[in-house]
Structure 1
Amino acid sequence: MTPNTSAVSTASAPHGAGRWADELWQAVACADEYTATDVVLHALEQTLDPEGVLLDLIAPVQGKVGEEWAANRLTVAQEHAATAINDRAVAALSLHPVARTSVERPGRITVACVDGEWHALPARILAEVLKLRGWQVDYLGAQVPTPHLIAHLHRTNCDAVALSSSIATRLPTAHAAITACQAVGVPVLVGGAAFGTDGRYARLLGADAWAPDARAAAELLVRTPLSRPHPHHQAIDDLPHLADQEYTMVARSGRALVRAVFSKLETAFPAMRDYSELQREHTAADLAHIVEFLGIALYTGDEDLFTDFLTWTAGILTARDVPAHSLPPALRFLAAELKDFPRATRIVQLGAERLTLSSLTTAGSTA
């Protein structure tokens, strides 16, 4: 596959970053690590300051990597390669003499991804921005188990923790990490797509602060330093609806639900019996994601989290020329399996309604 080499959107790119963003995109789309690094260093030496390179050059290009994958113009392998190249560009920038700072340090902060979160580049960019702002930063990288994070805090006496998560399915793990950090007296700033574009899940899960991006996070930490949390906070206080146990039951029975729905789909769509092994695996994986996001909607009490995921999934399938017509029947079968769980059933039914409405709207706009 030849990557789409259209330009990165530069409508809001300041200080001439647009030109460099286009060049960097061309390089990462072709997996040209050397050219990508040259572009970043030339931008640093000629036009942008180090923070501008991180936030106005590398970050937008990485955003386009995700968009191109979603549109099926980059394969998974190409997306991984592009992300790795951007990560190495960040490393090259961090070692450049211009990026070194002698600013008085406002404190020490640990930056980490929650356990199970492999998308480390946003956290890496935040760590570099905070270092440029003078912070002493302990960057722990991707997928940090909460016990290890807490052990690190005990050893280092950090002033704050910045937790990153890109996928909503990691919210329960993020909640546990937030609560554990606060229990040892360390305030928590969170960021990433998992927490919602408006930070709604950060507030829901009791984080001390939320920021939409690295620049906002750095400015928030200076403008309103985080105070030490109350040590007796209990996670269950954040989500009293969990007392109905529906989240726990759905999460524990996820595999059984996938098997049951898959079997009913085979009966309803006999053509599925002729699927290749790879097609069967993809179908099972799609069903597993649906069940997993249902669980997260139950955990957060937010139905939109599930319905938005279904709409996104339909778009992903369509981009890959996979008919999305099996989604509504799958949801009907799933609702039948969950008949003893009223909250879960309501969410699944609402998802099916929204998906149908979205399909009708799309069909009408293309008629």
Structure 2
Amino acid sequence: MSTAGLVTTDLRAAGEHYLEHIGQADEFGAVDLVLDLLQQGVGAESLLLDLIAPAQRRIGELWAANQWSVAREHGATAVSERAVAAIVARVRPAPVLGRITVACADGEYHALPTRLLAEVLRLRGWRVDFLGANVPGPHLITHLHQTGPDAVALGCALAIRLPRAHATITACQAVGVPVLAGGSGFGADGRLARLLGADAWAPTADAAADHLSSGALPAFPAAPHGPAHLSDEEYTHLTRRRGELLTGAMAALTAAWPPMAAYTAHQLDSTAEDLGHILDFLTAAVYVDDAQVFTDFITWTAGVLRARGVPAGAVKVGLRVFYDELRDFPRARHLLAQGIEAAHDADLEI
């Protein structure tokens, strides 16, 4: 067996122990584990991408399956952030390459994946300005003027942040700074990064570092068309009328779904929140004219609600309520019809 195989096996075993530590919010245990592995010769980049990153994905799966609470998930993520800090405090290569600004899109609060990219770039020899979560576009542009980086690496985990990410991409390029996009919000294949005009896209932190280290960013071919919101006003109206639409949807859902009559205040709040997420993903899908943005979310939502004891049929009822409410929105209704079909397919998987 090769040394690489041994390291992989060790990291898989260590990953189980690491997940136990972070699941118990055991900061000292998690930090000791990663520092011990570092001392044993496991590379810092491997610890970030082959130990911590998979653990974070597993956290998301456990939360979606209703095996971990939001509080436990948040605690585990906080511990992982401390583990990352402990690793990079021990390994400090001198910056010998250029300067990269790394930031999350405006409104994007899932900062750890973007932080992992920032640290991988530092390990590869870049000077990195990591700006963290939820970076407003105008403030990012001010930073670019002040620092003059070679590129911006922009993270977006949720598709509902794409309109703001688009504005940020355009603004960065207007001041002469290319943008490397990353994160699941841009699509698993990067198609939405291309649509929104990013200079390049990378599926993983190491792939992004490879792109940047190779010199000029490998440019996308021109997108065949721009974002769909430019062709009509559906996106604008959905955004402006969000509150009104949600109020109407809650009233209609109460009439269409009899079990809601017995809901507690907490259940009603959760239902309103779920409807808000549905409307936000619908709005994002209208912006980019991409049905998969919406149908993937509906399939995921059906699974999450099912794990929490909510009948799968409730998702379809909610979608039909929006379908009836949005009579003057043909593109949104077309997407809702596909969402209803996706919810139906999710029902059949039970």
TM (norm. structure 1) is: 0.89
Q: Distance in 2 between matches of 1:53 and 1:358?
A: 36
Name 2:138's counterpart in structure 1.
Answer: 147
Q: Give how far 1:304 is off.
A: 1.5
Q: Distance in 2 between matches of 1:128 and 1:268?
A: 50
Q: Match of 1:80, as an amino acid?
A: H
Q: Give how far 1:13 is off.
A: 7.5
Matched, 1:66 2:60: yes
Q: Give how far 1:66 is off.
A: 1.0
Matched, 1:269 2:277: no
Q: Indicate how the Cα distance of structure 1 residues 190 and 278 shifts in structure 2: closer, same or farther if over 3 A, else same.
A: same
Map 1:1-367; keep pairs closer than 5 Å: 14=8, 16-96=10-90, 99-102=91-94, 105-226=96-217, 238-360=226-348, 362-363=349-350
Q: Match of 2:231, as an amino acid?
A: A
2:228/2:288 contact within 8 Å kept: no
Q: Distance in 1 between matches of 2:165 and 2:238?
A: 19
Structure 1 stretches lacking a partner, 5+ long:
1-10
Q: Indicate how the Cα distance of structure 1 residues 214 and 13 shifts in structure 2: closer, same or farther if over 3 A, else same.
A: farther
Q: Distance in 1 between matches of 2:32 and 2:123?
A: 21
Q: Give how far 1:19 is off.
A: 2.0
Percent of aligned pairs with the same amino acid: 51
SS at match of 1:134: coil
Q: Give how far 1:325 is off.
A: 1.4
Q: Give how far 1:117 is off.
A: 0.9
Q: Indicate how the Cα distance of structure 1 residues 352 and 136 shifts in structure 2: closer, same or farther if over 3 A, else same.
A: same
Q: Which moved more, 1:68-77 or 1:318-327?
A: 318-327
Q: Give how far 1:227 is off.
A: 8.2
TM (norm. structure 2) is: 0.94
SS at match of 1:111: strand
SS at match of 2:110: coil
SS at match of 2:128: strand
Q: Match of 1:328, as an amino acid?
A: K
* 1:312-341 deviation digits (Å, cap 9, x = unpaired): 100000111121212212222211111111
* 1:185-241 deviation digits (Å, cap 9, x = unpaired): 000001111111111111111101111111111111112423899xxx9x9x72255
1:133/1:218 contact within 8 Å kept: yes
Structure 1 runs of 4+ aligned residues shifted over 4 Å read none
Q: Distance in 2 between matches of 1:100 and 1:134?
A: 9
1:129/1:215 contact within 8 Å kept: yes
Q: Give how far 1:266 is off.
A: 1.3
Q: Distance in 1 between matches of 2:196 and 2:151?
A: 17
CA-based RMSD: 2.1
Corresponding residue pairs, total: 344
Q: Match of 1:308, as an amino acid?
A: D
Q: Match of 2:156, as an amino acid?
A: S
Q: Distance in 1 between matches of 2:141 and 2:218?
A: 18
SS at match of 2:231: helix
